[in-house]
Amino acid sequence: MRGIMAKKPGFEKPLILRSLDNSEDNATLLVSESLGAEIAARFGPRDETPLSIHAYDGDALAGGLTGVTHWGWFYIRHFWVAERWRRRGAGRQLLAHAEMEARARQCVGLYLDTFDPGAAQFYEHCGFLRFGQIDDFPPGHARAFLYKKLPSS
């Protein structure tokens, strides 16, 4: 743990700042809980519910996606299709199933991010729109952010 003193004009005592390399600390939990409470008070509860969808070739995992639904959106955190199943419709089937699950949870859309330009093009072909990008993240590449609104029924 590293610490420094930070003095702000108008304060009698300086703050003591500490950096931690792990998140298993009561103060870390308190920061998370305090921010969560403030956000819920302003924007309503997240009602975060995990969601995973898996595709199988017999007993073998052929692909899948994981994420959470919250505030009426499905965040796809991880999306993977085995190499032999790429360009054969498996990814589109997974996304179609994700959209069906999102609708069942009354979501208005889905969102995700990727470092892979080919994956970003795939998502765009599936109706996702790019709304942001961070260059050099990871170094030499770009992180793209995409979303797809679901049509109202």
Give me the amino acid identity at 118: G
User: Which one, of 148, 90, 86, 151, lies nearest residue 123 by Cα?
Assistant: 148
Range of the domain at 26: 2-43
Token output for 105? 């949870």
Q: How confident is the model at residue 28 (pLDDT cuts 50, 70, 90)?
A: confident
Which tops the pLDDT comparison, 2 or 76? 76
Please indicate, yes or no, whether residues 116 and 80 belong to a single structural domain of this protein.
Answer: yes
Please indicate, yes or no, whether residues 31 and 96 belong to a single structural domain of this protein.
Answer: no
CA 13 to the chain's CA centroid: 39
DSSP 88-127: TTHHHHHHHHHHHHHHHTT-SEEEEEES-HHHHHHHHHTT
Into how many domains does the chain fold? 2
Please indicate, yes or no, whether residues 74 and 134 belong to a single structural domain of this protein.
Answer: yes
> What are the tens digits of pLDDT across the range 109-150?
999 999 999 999 999 999 999 999 999 999 999 999 999 999
CA 12 – CA 89 distance, rounded (Å): 64
Please indicate, yes or no, whether residues 82 and 136 belong to a single structural domain of this protein.
Answer: yes
Please indicate, yes or no, whether residues 39 and 53 belong to a single structural domain of this protein.
Answer: no
Please indicate, yes or no, whether residues 86 and 114 belong to a single structural domain of this protein.
Answer: yes
Please indicate, yes or no, whether residues 65 and 132 belong to a single structural domain of this protein.
Answer: yes
> What are the tens digits of pLDDT across the range 56-100?
999 999 999 999 999 999 999 999 999 999 999 999 999 999 999
Please report the pLDDT score of residue 22 as a whole number. Answer: 76
Place of tokens 């008070």: 41
Phi, psi of 14 (to 5 degrees): -75, 155
Residue 52 scores a pLDDT above 70: yes
Residue 125, domain CATH:
3.40.630.30
